[in-house]
Amino acid sequence: MQKIYPVLDEAEMIVLASPIYYHGLSGQLQCAVNRIYAQGYPKKLKKAMLLLSSGDHGVYDGAIFTYRNSFLEYLHLEDMGIFTAAGEENKSDELLARIREAGAALTDPDDHNVPRLVIRSGNVTVKAKMNDSFAARDFMNRLPITVTGEDSGVDYCCELEDGAIDETELQDGWKNGDINTYGGWLAILYGGEEQSASYRQMIIAHLDEEDNRLIQTLPKEAVFDLSLEEPFKKQ
Ligand SMILES: Cc1cc2nc3c(=O)[nH]c(=O)nc-3n(C[C@H](O)[C@H](O)[C@H](O)COP(=O)(O)O)c2cc1C
C-alpha cells in the first residue's frame, strides 16, 4: 500500500479488476480497497470501472454490491462501467475489444498530449497544464528551475528573468490558477481574478481547482522546484 498511496493521490480514475472468489471480490483486492477507505478520500479520484471474471454465470451480485454501495458511494466516484466474463467468455476477443474501448474512453486522448509543469514545494506537488504559447514552449526549454516566492494575497510572486515571448500573446488579467511569466516574475496566480483586468500577463500554464487549492496551503514564503512531467522529457 505504501507504493499504491502516492499513485492514488495523483490518480483521477481507478479500475478494479478481480476474479470472483466465493461470490465476492478476491481477498487481496478487498484488503487493498479497505485500506483505501481507511486513508480517507483519494484527493483527485473521480471515476471508477469494475472488471470481474468467474467460473460460473450469475455470481456477481456480491462484488457489484460492494462496488456500488461502498466503493462508488463512499468515495463519491462516477461509474464508468462494469464488465463481467464468466467461464468461456474469458476467451472472447469481442468482449476484450469492448473492454479495451471502454478503457480508452476513460482518458481524453487529447488531454494526454498536454505537457504538464510539475511544481514541488515542501510536501506539496501539483501539476499545471501548459498551453502552447510561444512563451510556454520557451519556458519548457528552461526547465528545471528553482524559484523562491512570497504570497502576496492573490499569488506567489517569484523573481524570474524574462524568457522569449510573443507580444501578441500577452493578455489582460488572469483566471484563478493561471501561471504567468512576464515582467521579471513568475507568478502562481491562485486568486484575485476579479481585480486582475488591468494587469498585462503572459499566461503559460493553468492549475485545476484542486491543485490551486493545494498551492494555497503553502507558507508565506516558499521555494518552488519546477520541472517538466516525465513523459515529455523523453521526447
Ligand atoms: C478460491 C477461489 C474461489 C472461487 N470462487 C468462485 C465462485 O464463487 N464463483 C465462480 O463462478 N468462480 C469462482 N472461482 C473461479 C474464479 O473466479 C476464476 O478462476 C477466475 O475468474 C479466473 O479465471 P481462470 O481460472 O480461468 O483464470 C473461484 C476460484 C478460486 C481460486
Region 58-83 average pLDDT:
92
Looking at per-residue pLDDT, the higher value among 234 and 69 belongs to 69
Predicted local confidence at residue 102, as pLDDT: 84
Smallest CA separation from ligand 1 atom 31, residue: 21
Q: Range with the lowest mean pLDDT among 67-71, 112-116, 126-130, 146-150?
A: 112-116
Predicted local confidence at residue 167, as pLDDT: 94
Instruction: For residue 58, count other CB atoms closer than 10 A to its CB.
Output: 8
Confidence of residue 234 (pLDDT cuts 50, 70, 90): very low
- The sheet that has 47-54: what strands, in order across it? 13-19, 47-54, 78-86
83 CA distance to ligand 1 middle (Å): 16
The closest-lying atom of ligand 1 relative to the alpha carbon of residue 19 is 21
Residues counted in the chain: 235
DSSP 213: H
Looking at per-residue pLDDT, the higher value among 217 and 234 belongs to 217
Smallest CA separation from ligand 1 atom 2, residue: 21
Predicted local confidence at residue 235, as pLDDT: 35
- 188-226 burial, b at 16+ Cβ within 10 Å, e below that, comes to bbbbeeeebeebebbbbbbbeeebbebbeebeeebebeb
Assess whether pLDDT exceeds 60 at residue 232.
Answer: no
Residue list, ligand 1 pocket, CB within 6 Å = 19-23, 53-56, 59, 90
- Cβ contact 37:70 at 8 Å: yes
Cell numbers linked to 127: 501539476
Predicted local confidence at residue 49, as pLDDT: 93
Probe residue for ligand 1, chosen from 16, 18, 22 as the CB with the greatest number of ligand atoms within 8 Å: 22
Predicted local confidence at residue 112, as pLDDT: 63
Predicted local confidence at residue 231, as pLDDT: 63
Probe residue for ligand 1, chosen from 25, 54, 91 as the CB with the greatest number of ligand atoms within 8 Å: 54
Region 60-74 average pLDDT:
93
101 CA distance to ligand 1 middle (Å): 25
Q: Range with the lowest mean pLDDT among 9-23, 100-114, 135-149, 166-180?
A: 100-114
- Kindly list the structural domains of the chain, giving each domain's residue range(s) and its CATH number in brackets, ordered by start: 4-107 (3.40.50.360), 116-233 (2.40.100.20)
- Cβ contact 12:47 at 8 Å: yes
11 CA distance to ligand 1 middle (Å): 29
pTM confidence score? 0.55
Region 18-37 average pLDDT:
95
Predicted local confidence at residue 198, as pLDDT: 95
pLDDT in tens, 126-138: 999 999 999 999 9
Smallest CA separation from ligand 1 atom 8, residue: 22
13 CA distance to ligand 1 middle (Å): 26
The closest-lying atom of ligand 1 relative to the alpha carbon of residue 56 is 11
